Amino acid sequence: MVQVLDVAPDFSLATRQAADAANPDILAWEELMWRFQLALPFAGAGEKWVRMTRLFLLREALSVRDLNLGADAAVEGSESEPNGG
């Protein structure tokens, strides 16, 4: 399961965590969710969610692909057929 946070540039995870820790509704929800969610083996004590390491950005992967396709087309266009064809 993945949780994605789309936040403002001034977002503070520490501030959010402190606010959540003081909110009885969030605490009740978290207690309920611990029945259904398991912590990862490498997570810290009481930690369900851990930061993931980004593997790639699709935008960058597509840009590299497009550059490579452009290079392949240039190579193909420069090859001449035998007998001047």
- The pLDDT score that the predictor gives to residue 3 is 81
> Mean pLDDT in each 10-residue stretch from start to end of the chain (85 residues)?
87 94 96 92 88 85 80 56 53
What pLDDT shows up at residue 55? 86
pTM: 0.54
**CB neighbourhood size of 48 (10 A):** 15
Domain boundaries, given as residue ranges, for the chain: 13-84
Separation between Cα atoms, residue 64 and residue 72, nearest integer Å = 12
The whole-number pLDDT of residue 15 equals 96
Alpha-carbon gap, residue 13 to 57, rounded angstroms: 22
d(CA 25, CA 33): 12
Q: What is the pLDDT of residue 54?
A: 83
